[in-house]
C-alpha cells in the first residue's frame, strides 16, 4: 500500500512540474509578444528546469519498472504522461515562436 502511495506522489510530481512548465512557457510567450526578450528567456529557462524535474521523476518510475518493481497502469499515470508530453511539445513550440518574434521585432 505504501508503495502505491509513493508512486501516486511521484505521478503528481510529474503533473505538477509539467503544469508549472506549461504556465511558465506561456508567460514567456506573453513577454516575447511585448518584446521583453530577457524576461521571456528567463521564463523559458525556468520552464525547462521544471520539465527536467518532471522527466527525472518519469525516468525513475520507468527504471523501477524495468528493474522488476510492479507498476500499476492507472488513468492518473496516463494523464501524467500525456500532461508531460504536451508540456514538452508546447515548450519547444513556444521557444521556436519566441525566436521568430525576435526576428520580427522592431530594431532600435
pLDDT digit string (tens) for 40-60? 999 999 999 999 999 999 999
Is 55 one of the annotated active-site residues of the chain? no
How many of the other CB atoms lie within 10 Å of CB of 50? 22
CA distance 14 to 85: 10
Dump pLDDT digits (tens) for 65-93: 899 887 778 899 999 999 999 999 999 99
Q: Which of 6-15, 33-42, 93-102 has the lowest mean pLDDT?
A: 6-15
* Residues 2-104, CATH architecture: Up-down Bundle (1.20)
Question: Percent of the chain scored above 70 by pLDDT?
Answer: 95
CA distance 41 to 83: 23
SS (H, E, C) 32-94: HHCCCHHHHHHHHHHHHHHHHHHHHHHHHHHHHHHCCCCCCCCHHHHHHHHHHHHHHHHHHHH
What backbone torsions phi and psi does residue 43 show, to the nearest 5 degrees?
Answer: -70, -40
Q: What is the mean pLDDT of the chain?
A: 93
Q: Domain extents for the chain?
A: 2-104
CB 44 within 8 A of CB 95: yes
Q: Of 17, 55, 79, 96, which residue is the catalytic one?
A: 79
Instruction: Read off the pTM.
Output: 0.89
Confidence at 1, pLDDT banded by 50, 70, 90 = low
Amino acid at each position: 500500500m505504501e508503495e502505491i502511495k509513493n508512486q501516486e506522489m511521484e505521478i503528481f510530481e510529474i503533473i505538477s512540474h509539467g503544469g508549472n512548465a506549461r504556465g511558465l512557457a506561456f508567460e514567456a510567450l506573453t513577454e516575447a509578444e511585448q518584446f521583453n526578450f530577457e524576461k521571456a528567456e528567463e521564463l523559458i529557462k525556468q520552464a525547462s528546469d521544471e520539465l527536467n524535474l518532471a522527466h527525472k521523476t518519469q525516468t525513475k518510475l520507468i527504471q523501477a519498472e524495468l528493474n522488476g518493481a510492479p507498476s500499476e497502469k492507472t488513468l492518473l499515470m496516463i494523464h501524467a504522461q500525456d500532461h508531460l508530453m504536451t508540456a514538452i511539445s508546447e515548450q519547444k513550440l513556444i521557444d521556436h515562436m519566441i525566436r521568430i518574434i525576435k526576428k520580427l521585432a522592431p530594431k532600435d
